[in-house]
Amino acid sequence: MAREENPSDVIWGGRTDARRHRVVIVGGGFGGLYAARSLARSPTAVTLLDRRNFHLFQPLLYQVATGGLSPSNISSPLREVLRGKQRVRVLMGDVVDVDVAQRQVVLADGDTVAYDTLIVATGVSHDYFGNEAWRQNAPGLKTMEDALEMRRKVLYAFEAAERERDPTRRRAWLNFVVVGAGPTGVELAGALGELANDTLKHEFRAIDPADSQIILLEGGDRILPNFPADLSAKALKALERLGVTLRLQSYVTDVRPDAVTIETATREVIIPTRCVLWAAGVKASPLGQVLHRSAGAELDKIGRVSVNPDLTVPNHPEIIVIGDLANFSHQTGSPLPGVAPVAMQQGRYAAKRIRNQMRGRETAPFRYADKGTLATIGRSAAVADFGKLRFSGWLAWVLWLFIHLLFLIQFRNRVLVVFQWAWSYLTRNRSTRLIVEHRGSSDSNHP
């Protein structure tokens, strides 16, 4: 293959073999990381690009948001994870464009990285259904920054309530509204219930944190709509034991700093609150739009790329889209769910497809092997759906713990998480309840 020298191309430092098949992976989540690992021993030169320097274990992000775990417990530096893989390099960079003709991705600062095969795995972020202004008052939960902002907001609400003299305003500080009753919303609401009823007990003098109201809003007619109805009902009972109030068929029509407005079938309700947590709606990463513009990719209504049965972009066998950003509807007629196992399996499939292609072999279409779904609702409560087998309660919860530990990257993190879970279980306490400000350097009143 003839290759031109490109002066903007990010160098490998002379250690690369110019004849190797160059794979560029954009995004170091489950899809990208599993693709990179699976390619590590192939005769490829892999570049993993991410805006962050770490892989984030998103399924436990809600525990950071509610003070149970530290950011580093669920994050692994991508370089450290891939340290031993000499044929994989990690670059921190923000991909803003794909030059399909030149086969290179373009970074925000103008640098380029050339590929023979491109894997795009940049996922989704949360969406406010066109009401971007709500973002400021209702943080979502997709990035570490999101989780820290949620934690700050939740913990600060109790601090402000302790100091508030006016009973009406104090009530608003103690109302917590979670929007969306999918797994993230349910897990968040459950963790808030534990925080208010157990963790913060005896810590305040003017308020009782157990007077908090945790309100879970759902547009549909039950929580966990992707689970069977009987498991939804069991999860709801567990949530109610934690003091969570559910409002079904309720649509958010406005979010202000001190209240959220909802519309039900019959009326409009205003809930005074200083803490709205957003767990509803996703939209695809802007890389979907980039592929639409540059490679003619077709997007679904939330911006995901409709892929071929082999996960490539139609007419571009050299571009593969995996994970939450891909709309793969060939198996069930509807898109696969946006969960980690889909991304992992697609990451491994993409690697296999590249290896087969280099050997001139065909690859059978991708098929997702659904191993089941789990959701947890606080201490000792969870629901598990394995198709024929479904159960709830303590056993489901232990299974949830075990599976989450198993897929957590790095042994060190597993030990730290187990210790903190055991500690929280025994003491009903949470270890990482820090309100850290978002600013560059210190100011200087109370250093």
Q: Are strands 88-92 and 44-50 parallel, antiparallel or unpaired?
A: parallel
Q: Distance between CA 35 and CA 46 in Å, rounded? A: 10
Question: Residue 4 or 362: which CB sits closer to its own copies?
Answer: 4
Closest CA to 81 of 122, 46, 37, 136: 37
Site string for its own copies, 363-382 (x = CB under 8 A): --------------------
Binding span for its own copies by CB under 8 A among 64-72, 233-241, 252-260, 348-356: 64-72
Give the residues across from 217 on adjacent strands: 179, 247
Phi and psi, residue 86, nearest 5° = -65, -20
Question: Residue 125 or 363: which CB sits closer to its own copies?
Answer: 125
Please give the C-alpha separations between residue 368 and each of 33, 258, 298, 323, 400, in angstroms, as whole numbers.
Answer: 18, 44, 21, 11, 21
Q: Are 347 and 35 in contact (CB under 8 A)?
A: yes
Q: How far is the CB of 286 from its own copies (least distance, A)?
A: 6
Q: How far is the CB of 123 from its own copies (least distance, A)?
A: 5
Question: Residue 360 or 447: which CB sits closer to its own copies?
Answer: 447
Question: Residue 71 or 272: which CB sits closer to its own copies?
Answer: 71
Please give the C-alpha separations between residue 110 and each of 22, 23, 50, 305, in angstroms, as whole numbers.
Answer: 20, 19, 15, 25
Q: How far is the CB of 214 from its own copies (least distance, A)?
A: 20
Q: Distance between CA 172 and CA 161 in Å, rounded? A: 8
Is position 93 an interface residue for its own copies (rule: CB under 8 A)? yes
Segment 390-419, which members bind its own copies (CB under 8 A)?
412-413, 415-416, 419
Binding span for its own copies by CB under 8 A among 174-182, 240-248, 399-407, 439-447: 439-447
Biggest CA-to-CA distance, the chain: 74
Q: Are strands 95-99 and 104-107 parallel, antiparallel or unpaired?
A: antiparallel
Out of 94, 221, 230, 240, the residue judged to bind its own copies by CB under 8 A: 94
Segment 336-355, which members bind its own copies (CB under 8 A)?
none
Question: Residue 87 or 355: which CB sits closer to its own copies?
Answer: 87
Segment 241-280, which members bind its own copies (CB under 8 A)?
none
Question: Residue 17 or 230: which CB sits closer to its own copies?
Answer: 17
Q: How far is the CB of 283 from its own copies (least distance, A)?
A: 8
Closest CA to 338 of 144, 125, 51: 125
Looking at 80, 132, 145, 187, which residue is catalytic? 187
Closest CA to 288 of 319, 325, 342: 325
Question: Residue 145 or 240: which CB sits closer to its own copies?
Answer: 145
Q: How far is the CB of 245 from its own copies (least distance, A)?
A: 24
Phi and psi, residue 198, nearest 5° = -110, -60
Q: How many CB atoms are located within 10 Å of the residue 13 CB?
A: 7
Out of 2, 13, 257, 334, the residue judged to bind its own copies by CB under 8 A: 13
Closest CA to 19 of 46, 51, 43: 43
263 is catalytic: no
Q: How far is the CB of 347 from its own copies (least distance, A)?
A: 15
Q: Distance between CA 377 and CA 235 in Å, rounded? A: 7
Segment 115-174, which members bind its own copies (CB under 8 A)?
122-126, 135-136, 139-140, 142-146, 148-149, 155-156, 159-160, 162-163, 165
Please name the residue that has the structure tokens 């196992």: 341
Q: How far is the CB of 106 from its own copies (least distance, A)?
A: 13
Segment 165-224, which members bind its own copies (CB under 8 A)?
165, 200, 202-207
DSSP-derived 3-state class of residue 132: helix
Out of 20, 40, 72, 169, the residue judged to bind its own copies by CB under 8 A: 72
CA 30 remoteness from chain centre: 10
Q: Where are the beta strands (DSSP E) in 236-381?
A: 244-247, 251-256, 259-263, 268-272, 275-278, 282-284, 305-306, 312-313, 316-321, 326-327, 373-376
Q: How far is the CB of 329 from its own copies (least distance, A)?
A: 21
Is position 439 an interface residue for its own copies (rule: CB under 8 A)? yes
Which helix (DSSP H) or strand (DSSP E) does residue 37 occupy?
helix 30-39
Binding span for its own copies by CB under 8 A among 93-101, 242-250, 251-259, 385-393: 93-101
Site string for its own copies, 16-55 (x = CB under 8 A): x---------xx----------------------xxxxx-
Q: Are strands 124-126 and 282-284 parallel, antiparallel or unpaired?
A: antiparallel
**Count of residues interacting with its own copies (CB under 8 A):** 92
Q: How far is the CB of 247 from its own copies (least distance, A)?
A: 24
Binding span for its own copies by CB under 8 A among 5-13, 188-196, 214-222, 377-385: 5-13
Q: Distance between CA 119 and CA 32 in Å, rounded? A: 8
Is position 302 an interface residue for its own copies (rule: CB under 8 A)? no
Q: Catalytic positions, please?
A: 187
